[in-house]
Amino acid sequence: MGKAKVLTATIISAAMLLLSACGNEEKTSGTKTEPSKETTNAPTEEKENTKVEETKETSSENSGEVLNPSIAEESEGNVEVIYTNKDPKYTHDLDDFKISVDEYQIVKVTDMNEYSKILFDDQIDGYVVTTKVTIENGTDKPMYFNNNHKIQLNNDLDYIPSDWKNFVPEDQQINKIKKNKEQISLFEADEKVTGLMTFTLTNDEFDKLKTVKPKYIIEGGVADNDQYKNSNLQESPAYDFIYSDEQANETAGQPKFYQDRLTTDNWADKKMIFEKSGINDTQQIGDVKVTVEGVQYTEVIPTEANKQMFSDFGDSGVAALTVKIKIDNQSSSPVSISNLGTILNVDDNRARFLSQGMAEPSDPDEIAAGQTGEKLHVFLFRKDEFQLYKKFTMEFGPFIAKDGNEAFKGRTATFTLPR
C-alpha cells in the first residue's frame, strides 16, 4: 500500500565528470547505482535530460481553500493549507503529446488515522502535495504514456514519486476517467483529460526541501505501442519546485541556466560568470548543419550531497562551460549525438579538454534523418586555471551514422567561442 521513496544514494566520485586536459589533467572516478522504484503505472524506462530552459514564474494564493478535500476525508486528520501555486507553468511537450501541471497545493496533515500512517513512515503527521494535471494527446493515434512525476531533492537518485490513487477521489483519478479504462497508460487520439495526482512527504522530507533546491520533473516514456519501443524518454525541464512565498521571492529573477545535469540533477548550484545567446554560428558536416546558439560560463558550487563528485578538483573551485548547439540533420541517415568526441582547444593547444558526456543530457540519443535537435556540451575546469584562459575553440564531432554511413567519418566543425 505504501509508495516507494528513493532516498539519497551514495555517489562515488566522478568518473562521470572525467576531465582530460593536455598538461593539467583532472580526473574523478567511480560508479553510480540506480535504486529500484515502485510505480502503479505501466513500465517506465530510465531518462535524463531535459533540453530547455527552466521557468521560475509562480502565482501564489495561500488562502484556506482546499484543492483536494479527499485528503481530510481519507486521513480523518486535520488539514492546513501551507502553499498554493495557481499557475506553476510546469509543462512538457513530447511531440504533440502534452502534459501540464495547472495548479498545485501543499497541505500539512496532523492526527491522521492508522491506515494513512502507512504512507508517512508510520507517523501521524505529514504533508501532501496535490497537483492538478492535464494530459492532451494531440496526435492522430493512440499513445501509451507513463504518467510519472517526481519532486527531486538532493540529486537524480533522491526524489518523491507521484501517486495517482492515494488521496485522489475516483472521479479525479486520471487512469480511471480517461476514455480507455482497460489499459491504464493508453490515451486515445485527440484525448484530453484533467485530474489530480499526489505526493506524500514525511516531516523530515518536507524539512529537507528547505536544505536543497527541489525540482519538479515530468518524466518521459511516451510511445505508440505497449512495449514502449522507440519511446520518447525525454524528461521535462527541471522546474524549481516552489513551496513557500519566501522561497518564491528568492528564486524570482535568477538566471535561467542551460539544462545540463549539473542543474537538472542538483549536482551543483551555479553562478553566472558570462553568457551570450543568439550567436548562431553555423558550420556544415556533410549534410548536417551544426549551429552554436549560445554559451554559459558558470562557477560551479557542488551541493552538499554531491561534493565528493568534484573532490579531485581540490580547493580551487570548479568552473563550467556549457555550449548550446542546434543540429539540423538534412542527411539520409540518423546520426548519434551521445558519443561525440568533441574537444575544447584552449589558447592554441595550451590545454585540450574533452566534453563531459555524463554531465550532459542523454536524450535525445540521436537525430533522425530530416529532423532537428539540440545538444548541450559541458566542459569542466579548475576555477583558478580557468581564470587564466583567453581563447576557446571547440572542435565539434565527428558524428557516427546509425546506419553505418561513412560520409561523416572523421569530419568535425570548428567554432571560436565567445569568452
State the pLDDT at residue 11: 27
- CATH 2.60.40.4170-classified regions of the chain: 54-251, 261-417
Q: What is the pLDDT of residue 31?
A: 31
Residue 64: Cβ within 10 Å count:
8
pLDDT of the chain, 419 residues: tens digit per residue = 444 333 333 222 333 333 333 334 333 333 333 333 333 333 333 333 333 333 334 344 455 689 999 999 999 999 999 999 999 999 999 989 999 999 999 999 999 999 999 999 999 999 999 999 999 999 999 999 999 999 999 988 899 999 999 999 999 999 999 999 989 899 999 999 999 999 999 999 999 999 999 999 999 899 999 999 888 888 899 999 999 999 998 888 778 899 999 999 999 999 999 999 999 999 999 899 999 999 999 999 999 889 999 988 888 899 999 999 999 999 988 898 988 999 999 999 999 999 999 999 988 888 989 989 999 999 999 999 999 999 999 999 998 877 667 777 789 999 999 99
Contacts of 303 (CB under 8 A, 6+ apart): 154, 155, 212, 213, 266, 267, 268, 269
Q: Residue 151's Cα: distance from chain center in Å?
A: 10
pLDDT at 380: 96
Residues paired with residue 103 on neighbouring β-strands, in sequence order: 132
The pLDDT score that the predictor gives to residue 363 is 80
CA angle 219, 220, 221 (to 5 degrees): 125
Amino acid 394: pLDDT: 98
Nearest to 55 by CA among 89, 14, 26: 89
pTM for the whole structure = 0.77
pLDDT for the residue numbered 63 = 54
pLDDT score for 35: 34
Cβ distance 417 to 292 under 8 Å?
A: yes
E-strand ranges in 220-317 read 222-223, 239-240, 268-285, 288-302
Query: Phi/psi of residue 354, each to 5°?
Result: -80, 145
pLDDT at 314: 83
Query: Would you give the DSSP letter of residue 196?
Result: E
- Coil, helix or strand at residue 348: coil
54-251 to CATH, choices 1.10.10.10, 1.20.1250.20, 2.60.40.4170, 1.10.1740.10: 2.60.40.4170
**Fold for the domain defined by 261-417:** Immunoglobulin-like (2.60.40)
Determine how β-strand 90-94 pairs with β-strand 335-336.
Answer: unpaired
H or E stretch covering 161: strand 159-161
pLDDT in the model for residue 232:
86
Task: In whole angstroms, give the CA distance from residue 286 to residue 413.
Answer: 10
Element (H, E) at 247: helix 245-251
